Structure 1
Amino acid sequence: MSQIPATHSPDNEIVSSRIVHAAIDKVFEACANPVHLENWWGPDGFTNTFEEFDFRPGGRWKFIMHAPDNGNYQNECIFSEIIYPKLITWDRLSKPLFRMELSLSDIAPGKTKFGFRMIFDSPQECNKIKSFVINKNEENFDRLERELKTMI
């Protein structure tokens, strides 16, 4: 991705969110700790092999997503911003290219609004995956909720 457009609009974004029943620090831990993240990242049926997870601005996240149909998808990202416990932002270096803003908001004791904001260079790039990624993000959120229940 060359650079996020200075002015972006809903035409080049995919936004998904959910309220989860867990404290914000626990949800952040599920995102920041590769032991947990590896368990819930991706749509239903996918598993992950993390090759590198350097959780800091400028750090790399390299992993392979293994699809239930035996497909393997190499992913590489660079973390750009981390604000505990509210925001994790990264840029994908593998296609499809986009900036991911993972946001967390403390809305009540034991309740966190959790969201993905995927920002693409153009509406054309966004539209290539928009038709199916919204449902896949919901599957991802389901998996996050299951992982949160396993965390002490």
Structure 2
Amino acid sequence: MTTTSSGGEAAHPAADREIVLTRVIDAPRELVFEAFTQVRHLSRWWGPEGFTTTTRSFTFRVGAEWDFVMHGPDGTDYQEWITWREIVPPERIALLHGESRDDPDAFESVLTFEPAGGQTRIEMRTLFPTRELRDEAVEKYHAVEGGEQTLRNLAAYVAVLAGSDEGARS
């Protein structure tokens, strides 16, 4: 499993507002996609190391929302909200993520799930409204490290799911 990340390449105009994370996960694309689309899965792996997630409401369809709280290891609660903008199973999810429905600082993310043999290459491309907001996310909230940890948690979770699925088929 490989993780790469960057603040974007200078080749396109939004590079200074972007964070790109990738990881190859040792599980089939359909299973990795499912882990992103069902709340019973999300609550088991979402967030950086030491965080837990409490969902207040969740509907996975274009235009619907996921309203949740991330609980930090220091006891801080972070109000979070996501609206699903595009869903192409099992290839792509586009979303808007902020603290609330009307958050002017909300950022856009596009997740792509590419098959790689029996594995999945996931790319999470996040675009912030301004460079300053991207820099704040990186410096104050450790967005790159947190994103890498979140993808690592996903990889560990789907590995368990893949093992139990194989066991159930035997």
Give me the TM-score of the superposition, normalised by structure 1. 0.90
- Alpha-carbon shift at residue 8 of structure 1 (Å): 4.8
Q: Does 1:115 align with 2:123?
A: yes
State the aligned residue count: 145
Gaps of 5+ in 2: 1-11, 166-170
- Alpha-carbon shift at residue 130 of structure 1 (Å): 2.1
Runs of 4+ residues deviating >2 angstroms: none
Q: Pick the aligned partner of 1:149 from 147, 153, 159.
A: 159
Which position in structure 2 is the counterpart of 1:139? 149
Q: Deviations over 1:101-147 (max 9, x none)?
A: 11111121x11101211111111111111242111111111110111
- Alpha-carbon shift at residue 150 of structure 1 (Å): 2.1
Rounded to whole Å, the distance in 2 between the matches of 1:93 and 1:65 is: 12
Which position in structure 2 is the counterpart of 1:97? 106
RMSD over equivalenced CA pairs, Å? 1.4
Give the letter for the 2:114 counterpart. Answer: S
Which position in structure 1 is the counterpart of 2:54? 49
Rounded to whole Å, the distance in 1 between the matches of 2:41 and 2:157 is: 7
Which position in structure 2 is the counterpart of 1:125? 133
Which position in structure 1 is the counterpart of 2:91? 86
| Aligned partners of 2:26 and 2:159 also within 8 Å | no
Give the letter for the 1:63 counterpart. Answer: F
Q: Pick the aligned partner of 1:17 from 19, 22, 27.
A: 22
Give me the TM-score of the superposition, normalised by structure 2. 0.81
Which position in structure 1 is the counterpart of 2:33? 28
- Alpha-carbon shift at residue 19 of structure 1 (Å): 0.5
Give the letter for the 2:136 counterpart. Answer: K
Structure 1 residues 121 and 112, CA gap change in structure 2 (3 angstroms): same
Provide the identity percentage. 30
Which position in structure 1 is the counterpart of 2:66? 61
Q: Deviations over 1:34-85 (max 9, x none)?
A: 1111111100010111111110000011000011111111101111000000
| Aligned partners of 2:107 and 2:128 also within 8 Å | yes
SS at match of 2:109: strand
